[in-house]
Structure 1
Amino acid sequence: MSYVSLDKNSDIILLEQQIDGGMTSPIGELLFSFLDLDLREYADLYHLISYENDFNYNDFKDLCLTYPKTYTEMSKHRRGLPTESSDDDTLRSFAAYFLTENKDTFSDLYEHPFFSFSTSMEAAWYLDYAEIHDQIDFFHFQELFKNLVDFCFLNDDPKLSRLDKESRLFLFSACTPRFRFLFNTKNAFLPYPYSLYSKIEGLAAESLSKLNIGNYKALDILPLLSDSIIDEVSDRSRLLSVGSCNTVFDFLVFEFEAILFKGLDIKRCANCGKLFIPSGKYDTDCCDRIPEGEKYSCKKIMAQKRRKQKVNSDPITKEYEKAYKRMYARISSGTLEKSDFLKWSEDAKQKRDTASQRYSKSKDEKILIDFKKYLENK
């Protein structure tokens, strides 16, 4: 089990219960990155060993051949590997290792915090595949939440447009049989980093060791608490209201609900196509990410594309751009002062806007000819 919370900046905080540590992430980023994972191969393997299909010893051997690194690692740590006489449950339990501990593939999934902070990895270690079968259906979770995001935030169907996001969530859950929000938060206050909690737990154990268990009270720990610990506890900015999460599904639900009930919006970037949460006062349809292989953000790339489209579709703007480049080049050559260029640019913009409005209404070629003559374009 791990804990999940939102801090005052709306960043997601994940805390592992058993270790002194955790991580933070901007709200939405963990959810969106999970939805971006390519889980098609994982889905095929999950379907192969699911209880909806027959799974025999030959299927298990095929997995060993398909994922040789995983089989080698499993042989080192597992005793009594399956044989032809092994029953179906045993075969599936060993096959679960190829889902949750695969050394040949699925590294993106394993590195995702929702996976590493959940109890999903216990499947391969404890061989209780029947119990965690539904908890590791990650492809289904992914498809479910893609549909959920679209239904509640992106889809502009006229009927949905009449509903707010919370009402859309109710409708989605009511009409999706397999969808249930089973996330039951057990709220508690925990500090971040987690070390303060561990420190106090240690002192409580020390106090308890000196007393009869039946007589122990929380007040008994006070003599052991230093002023510095009290100062840390009094710093409410460090105390988080957290909920407990066991599965990937729990984390997905927590983050989706956090976005929904904080009144945030989700959009799909017009440039890269990825989901994002708009920030700032201005409406935008592009995210601030810098796509792989690019120098600029999606927002800037799209602005450049739209400017180019406008120039190419509007002959008035095209003539202005041509003159602008010519005049700007004269600054570099020393034949035009910068102050004179700025004055020319301001006047030319006004004439461009006026000419562009007139031309868009009538498409009169005389307007274009007169504007070219003003700019001294050939």
Structure 2
Amino acid sequence: MAENKPNKELSEYDKYRIVRSNSKNVCLDFYHNRVKFYPEKKTINIVVDSWERDDYIDELIEADEREQAKKLGSSYKAYESAEEEIDYEKDNLKGCQEYFEKFKSKYNFRASGLAGPFADDTGKLKNAMINIMSGSNVTLNYGEGILDFVYADFLTPAKKLYTVFSLLERIGEEEGYHSKSEDETEKNPDQLTDEEWTLRTYNDFDTTFPLINNIAYASLYSAIFPPLIKSSTETSKSIARYGNYLLALQKEFLELIEFCYDEDFYPEVLGSLYPSERLHLYRHAHDMPTSFERKEEFRTSHNIMDGDKMPYGTTGKEIINALKNLNFTPTNEQKAFAEKYGISTNTLLFTLQHHMFISARYVCCSIKDMLELELTKMLEQNVRFRKCKRCGKYFIMKGNYDTHYCDRIADGETRTCQQLAALENYKAKIADNKAVPIYNKYYKRYAARVRVHQLKEDEFNKWRYQAITKRDECYDGKITPEEYIEWMEAYFPNRKRKSE
């Protein structure tokens, strides 16, 4: 009898890939977003996948609901009443507005699928979009997306939601609830028609995404790369799977930022290396390949272009002039050509008279792909992170502006770390400056004389200018504190008492 061979132990990289890959009930690369980088401006533009309910899906849903009603009987209702449905939609609308305004206030939205009023007169969401980010066009600086993601709070909403669904599933088991009877077994995906597949996918997303949007909307990238959680009775496991995916990526990219950019991380070993060289060592240390896959999409377009040189692009004025002078009367040769190659005459004439440009952009389907793409672009353009010496969080270094403090407002503060650091440095400076208390003492004395009209304001201003100069000389050691006091006393001699 053959001896049973022990299962091969997974390598650390195998475990790494499993956590970041799709599972039975969770699809992590559901949205397909288009990403373009602008090296001159150091900006990223992301066009979010337009996953929305259209008339075609509406018809499928109505048919599906009618079929459900037949199976379950006339008592089947999605809501107890029309009022309850409207109330639910209004609550959902309010939450969508709050999340959308949060992202809109932080990032540059050039367009959005939800631009304009969110709802119609009945309070229902316009276009019934499930994800508020669908169709959005977002612009951000290199590194902003990474930092927003690594400092987002995914754990709090994930733990709360996991606890709720674990409890509900436990109650269901105790009451003998089963997900499907034997005659309700789902078809294999390969056996589904296109309509059935579309409907199942939409219903899964429609059912599960509103449950997890508190987690997904915790950061920009999790909002524009939402998962598809398939409808099942194991929702708690799906939530745990998605939450662990986000937390694993957070941990990885915080480690990457520290390893590749932190000036205080083993400076005696890594201090002379570029971030790209440090990344090479990081990947080796974790038994990971040093290559990254980036899916680039090449396209031709009448309005999307790279640069302003033909055939990459042209100026806006030239485009407008070309559109004004379009002629849609084809010649006989053009008609014959269009007919031979199955091209509409209007398409042929438009292309002949209005340039078709070329451009390239990336296609990203998951948060992991987007984070890796952004990181590699930062390495190409030498955009760097630095740790703030006040709050301990990383920030993006901009140009040649050398600072060790970020421009965030930390929790419990009303000023940025840069402002607070400047104030603290000033206080520390004057604490060691013996000339400052001397100046402050005489400033108060002579300002009081101005208020009671014993000194003229122009005389006071003249003194103040000279007093500040003397203060700096005292601080630099050119005169002693005693000499500074003597000068102060002599400038405006004390007035004699009336009794004298």
Q: Is 1:10 aligned to residue 27 of structure 2?
A: no
Instruction: Provide the C-alpha distance between the structure 1 equivalents of 2:450 and 2:361, rounded to a whole number of angstroms.
Output: 61
TM-aligned CA deviation for residue 357 of structure 1: 3.4
Aligned partner letter, 1:167? E
d(CA) in 2 for partners of 1:190 and 1:376?
Answer: 80
2:294 is the counterpart of 1:184? yes
Distance 1:353 1:12, change over 3 A: same
Shift in Å, 1:292 = 5.6
Residues 290 and 135 of structure 1: CA distance in aligned 2, closer, same or farther (over 3 Å): closer
8 A contact 1:11–1:27 mirrored in 2: yes
Q: 1:159: which partner in 2?
A: 269
Are 2:234 and 1:139 aligned? no
Residues 240, 334 of structure 1: alpha-carbon distance in 2 compared, 3 angstrom cutoff: farther
Are the counterparts in 2 of residues 22 and 193 from structure 1 also a CA contact under 8 Å?
no
Contact (CA 8 Å) 1:152, 1:168: kept in 2 or not? yes
Q: Distance in 2 between matches of 1:191 and 1:296?
A: 46
Which has the larger helix fraction? 1
1: CA distance, partners of 2:345 / 2:270: 55
State how far apart, in whole Å, the 2-side matches of 1:220 and 1:192 are.
Answer: 14
User: Is the contact between residue 385 and residue 395 of structure 2 (CA under 8 Å) also seen in structure 1?
Assistant: yes
CA distance in 2, matches of 1:333, 1:121: 73
The aligned residue for residue 349 of structure 2 is 223
Go from structure 1 to structure 2 and tell me whether the alpha carbon gap of 1:309 and 1:251 turns closer, same or farther (over 3 Å shift). same
State the number of aligned residues.
Answer: 311
Identity %: 21
Contact 1:5–1:240 (CA under 8 A) maintained in structure 2: no
Aligned counterpart, 2:228: 122
Would you say 1:171 and 2:281 are equivalent positions? yes
AA at the equivalent of 1:113? L
1:154 partner amino acid: D
Structure 1 length-normalised TM: 0.64
1:64 maps to what in 2? 168
| Equivalent residue, structure 2, for 1:112 | 219
Kept after mapping to 2: 8 A contact 1:30/1:113: yes
Q: Structure 1: any 5+ residue segments left out of the alignment? A: 49-58, 72-78, 84-95, 195-210, 360-365
Residue in 2 aligned with 1:75? Answer: none
Give, in whole Å, the separation in 2 of the partners of 1:275 and 1:134. Answer: 25
Partner of 1:344: 463
**Farther off after superposition, 244-253 or 290-299:** 290-299
- The 1:60–1:108 alpha-carbon spacing in structure 2 relative to 1, beyond 3 Å, is closer
Could you tell me whether the CA contact under 8 Å between 1:14 and 1:24 is conserved in 2?
yes
Compare 143-152 and 260-269 and name the one that shifted more: 260-269
Q: TM-score if structure 2 supplies the norm length?
A: 0.50
Q: Which residue of 2 aligns with 1:374?
A: 487
* Corresponding position of 1:149: 257
1: CA distance between counterparts of 2:300 and 2:460? 62
CA 1:24 to 1:193, structure 2 compared with 1: closer, same or farther past 3 Å? farther
Q: How big is each residue's C-alpha offset from its partner over 1:95-154, in whole Å with a ceiling of 9 and x where there is no partner?
A: x99xx7474x87264242211222x42134599989x96896111111111111111111
Contact 1:42 1:139 in 2 (8 A): no
CA contact (8 A) 1:37 1:109 kept: no
Check 1:101–1:325 CA distance in 2 against 1; reply closer, same or farther (3 A cut): farther
> Which residue, out of 418, 436, 448, partners 1:317?
436
1:155–1:114 CA distance, 2 compared to 1 (3 A) = same
Deviation at 1:4, TM superposition (A): 1.5
Shift of 1:217: 6.7
* Alignment match, 1:55: none
For the residue of structure 2 that corresponds to 1:187, the secondary structure is strand
State the alpha-carbon separation in 2 of the partners of residues 311 and 264 from structure 1. 36
AA of the residue aligned to 2:348: L
Distance 2:251 2:165 in 1: 30
Read off the aligned partner of 1:13 and give its amino acid letter.
N
Instruction: For residues 211-259 of structure 1, give each alpha carbon's deviation from its aligned partner in whole angstroms, at most 9, with x where no partner exists.
Output: 99x95579983235697xx47x66xxxx863211111111111222222
What secondary structure does 1:137 align onto? helix
Per the TM alignment, residue 355 of structure 1 is displaced from its structure 2 partner at its CA by: 2.3
Instruction: Spell out, residue by residue over 1:23-48, the C-alpha distance to the aligned partner (whole angstroms, 9 max, x if none).
Output: 112222221111111234578799x9
Name the amino acid aligned to 1:174: H
Asked whether the equivalents of residues 173 and 179 of structure 1 are also in contact (C-alpha less than 8 Å), the reply is: yes
Letter matched to residue 387 of structure 2:
R
RMSD: 4.7
CA distance in structure 1 between the aligned counterparts of 2:148 and 2:379, rounded to whole angstroms? 17
